[in-house]
Structure 1
Amino acid sequence: MENLLNGKKYSKESLTDLNSKELFAIYSENKDRTIRNELVNRYLYIAEILSKKYINKGIDYEDIFQIASLGLIYAIERFDVSKGFEFSSFATPTIIGEIKKYFRDKGWAIRVPRRIQELSKKVNNAKVVLHQTLQRVPKVSDIAEYLECTEEEVLEAMEASQVYTPKSLELSYDNNGEDKDVTLMDLIGEEDKDFASLENKDFLVKCLEKLNHMEKQIIKARFFNNETQSQVAKKFEVSQMTISRMEKKIIKKLQNDMQSLS
């Protein structure tokens, strides 16, 4: 064993006769990547078992397994064989921690605040507990009381949980006996493109009513007729600098009006 700790490089074949504790002892001394790879191969089954517990949670198994394997490497790097613990007991929480961290960061189709993510988990757990305790489906008020939070917070968490696994736009629904089913895409409303235009038009009309005659003419010439400042200045027989100053003054008025409405 002493000879193995002298900074020597090892082939995979030379490590097969050593037990895991010996390998960890050697690795803690020389950090030989060949030894680490051997340890990874010996304990990869732990990453595989833990990864399978998170199947059908909204992320592909292959991605989860990669994260679990990375967690296994972290555990190997941090493990201290001299403390007498079993490596599997040390590695399991490390790997699960990495998987959960990945789910928090990547598992939600839409980014949701961490506070809501955590509350969503508590709500789901509360549903199970209260269903067994009350022998019925728990109400929002039951969950809120159990978690000591407001009903609004529970509803927010329940709504947020719907974005954890996105639904396909091609998901079909029965169309009350009609020949063709309705897809989710058909049911999603879209923003009225004319709504913003109407709002802006109404806003401009009200703002223009506050301008004097010359200011209205300048706005009309510059932004409706697309005339240059020079053309407008010639029309009113003033300098271009005067038109520029008046234009800035008018725009400032409109900005102030918009801020007062928002």
Structure 2
Amino acid sequence: MTGDSYDDIEPLLKQLAVAVETGAPERKALREEAIDRCLPLADHIARKFSGRGEAFEDLLQVARLGLVQSIDRFDVYRGSRFLSFAVPTMMGEVRRYFRDSTWAVRVPRRIKETQVRLGVTIETLAQRLGRMPKARELAAELDVDQGELTQALLAANAYQSASLEAVCPDDGENTPLAMLDALGVDETGYEYVDQLLAVRPLIAELPDRERRVLMMRFFESMTQNQIAEQLGVSQMQVSRILSKTLGRLRAESLAN
């Protein structure tokens, strides 16, 4: 096998299957060869999930575990391609790792799965409808009831905890600031929540960044620090974006 081609992996797996069935002594070497040949594929899967708050080494280990399971479980006599079986298996293992191992507070599995799908669903519906989706629309799209939707929204806060002594960026100048010192900052946006609900049609006309910040803050229950980390800006910049955007919506609403 050369480059990224896996065209000859099935013949190798057939040799392995025959060796296992007959108890041939080379079965261990064939299994190790098959795993070694497909390691770049597992590494690629791990990289697809990197940058989401988990160590790449952990993701790599999980993806490679999925690869080993794929090789051990693959039925060469079904006539299907190995990659069509191995890729979903490895991706499934990594997704289960995120779902089961990276939550600071225990959350039911079904709620975790709904929460993972929530962000993409909000964006998809917002683009389709030209406005922020309502709770019943989100619930229908996700095929859950509104009670479960509410639990999924709240579950976002249970994904990852942070020490109060952890250092976070402050004013855009990379000034060290303990998380404890950042707590208690006035959240000027809350006074605009009622107005926000009344100006949904105007939200669709906002620039992408402003609309995304609003969605993350008020529909995904993200903190300003979490938004700042995702956008690569400071918490103070997020605060200014929120204040400016909500003020603009309020002014346009009153003008209309």
> What is the TM-score normalised by the length of structure 1?
0.54
1:110 matched residue in structure 2: 105
Q: Quick one: which of 18, 28, 50 aligns to 2:20?
A: 28
Cα offset, 1:67, TM superposition: 1.1
Q: Quick one: which of 111, 114, 129 aligns to 1:119?
A: 114
User: One-letter code of the match for 2:168?
Assistant: L
Q: Quick one: which of 168, 171, 174 aligns to 1:171?
A: 168
Identity %: 36
Q: Distance in 2 between matches of 1:124 and 1:53?
A: 18
Say whether residues 1:129 and 2:124 are aligned partners. yes
Residues 167 and 176 of structure 2 are in contact (CA less than 8 Å); yes or no, is this contact kept in structure 1? Answer: no
Higher relative contact order (CA 8 A, sep 6+): 2
Distance of aligned partners of 1:173 and 1:28 in 2 relative to their CA distance in 1, 3 Å threshold? same
Superposed counterparts of 1:123-202, under 5 Å: 123-140=118-135, 142-144=137-139, 146-147=141-142, 149-150=145-146, 153-167=148-162, 169-174=166-171, 183-188=178-183
Structure 2 unaligned regions, length at least 5: 1-9, 185-256
Root-mean-square deviation (CA, aligned residues, Å) is 2.9
Superposed counterparts of 1:217-256, under 5 Å: none
1:259 matched residue in structure 2: none
2:76 matched residue in structure 1: 81
Say whether residues 1:40 and 2:35 are aligned partners. yes
Q: Distance in 1 between matches of 2:152 and 2:85?
A: 33
Residues 63 and 91 of structure 2 are in contact (CA less than 8 Å); yes or no, is this contact kept in structure 1? Answer: yes
Residues 62 and 93 of structure 2 are in contact (CA less than 8 Å); yes or no, is this contact kept in structure 1? Answer: yes
Distance of aligned partners of 1:113 and 1:25 in 2 relative to their CA distance in 1, 3 Å threshold? closer
Q: Quick one: which of 48, 62, 69 aligns to 1:67?
A: 62
User: One-letter code of the match for 2:50?
Assistant: I
Residues 168 and 176 of structure 2 are in contact (CA less than 8 Å); yes or no, is this contact kept in structure 1? Answer: no
Q: Distance in 2 between matches of 1:21 and 1:182?
A: 55
Q: Quick one: which of 94, 101, 115 aligns to 1:99?
A: 94
| Secondary structure class of the residue paired with 1:28 | helix
Cα offset, 1:50, TM superposition: 1.2
Distance of aligned partners of 1:22 and 1:113 in 2 relative to their CA distance in 1, 3 Å threshold? closer
Q: Distance in 2 between matches of 1:78 and 1:188?
A: 50
Q: Distance in 1 between matches of 2:42 and 2:113?
A: 24
User: One-letter code of the match for 1:149?
Assistant: D
Residues 42 and 60 of structure 2 are in contact (CA less than 8 Å); yes or no, is this contact kept in structure 1? Answer: yes
Distance of aligned partners of 1:170 and 1:19 in 2 relative to their CA distance in 1, 3 Å threshold? same
Q: How many residues align?
A: 167
Residues 127 and 143 of structure 1 are in contact (CA less than 8 Å); yes or no, is this contact kept in structure 2? Answer: yes
| Secondary structure class of the residue paired with 2:145 | coil
Distance of aligned partners of 1:35 and 1:124 in 2 relative to their CA distance in 1, 3 Å threshold? same
| Secondary structure class of the residue paired with 1:57 | coil
Cα offset, 1:74, TM superposition: 1.0
Residues 120 and 158 of structure 1 are in contact (CA less than 8 Å); yes or no, is this contact kept in structure 2? Answer: yes
Distance of aligned partners of 1:153 and 1:173 in 2 relative to their CA distance in 1, 3 Å threshold? farther
Structure 1 unaligned regions, length at least 5: 1-17, 175-179, 190-262
- Rg larger in 1 or in 2? 1
Q: Deviations over 1:144-194 (max 9, x none)?
A: 4544522x54343223213324446322444xxxxx8864212558xxxxx
User: One-letter code of the match for 2:145?
Assistant: C
Q: Deviations over 1:183-217 (max 9, x none)?
A: 4212558xxxxxxxxxxxxxxxxxxxxxxxxxxxx
Distance of aligned partners of 1:182 and 1:142 in 2 relative to their CA distance in 1, 3 Å threshold? farther
Residues 172 and 184 of structure 1 are in contact (CA less than 8 Å); yes or no, is this contact kept in structure 2? Answer: no
Residues 104 and 161 of structure 2 are in contact (CA less than 8 Å); yes or no, is this contact kept in structure 1? Answer: yes
